[in-house]
Amino acid sequence: MLIEFGDKVKFLDNEITRTAGVAGLNGTCLGYTTPSVTKIAFIGKTQSDYAISIEIEGTDHIIWTTQDLVEFISHGEGMVIEIGNKRATRNADGSWKEELIDPAKEKSSWLKRIFGKK
């Protein structure tokens, strides 16, 4: 299973995670990268040139790791993200329910674009 943004995970207990001080800790996936391009430091070994960032639960510490060092817990149901006038809420199956925060605001922006008024 591919770990994606918003997924809750738990670090496995092995030599690599113990050395990094994260064995058994829970966290949330914040994204992914291609280590050969971004040159980030990460724990684990990757054959697929893919690493994920995990924010450790209860801290602001973020660690980059390979997927094989974490186990999936959940899709983080109920997580809410707001960008501009849009809100996305995470569903249990990993999908996102998107909605407008203020539909009237969206309509007026749309009308402004059509009529060229700012």
What's the full length of the chain, in residues?
Answer: 118
Asked whether the predicted pLDDT for residue 105 surpasses 60, the reply is yes
pLDDT per residue as tens digits for the range 4-29: 999 999 999 999 999 999 999 999 99
Amino acid symbol at 34: T
Report the chain's C-alpha Rg in angstroms: 19
Instruction: Report residue 46's pLDDT band, with 50, 70 and 90 as the boundaries.
Output: confident
Region of poorest pLDDT, from 38-42, 60-64, 110-114: 110-114
Higher pLDDT pick, 2 / 23: 23
Q: Where are the domains of the chain?
A: 8-74, 80-115
Taking the C-alpha atoms of residue 75 and residue 49, their distance in angstroms, rounded to an integer, is 23
Q: Report the half-sphere exposure of 66 (CA within 13 A, side-chain side).
A: 12
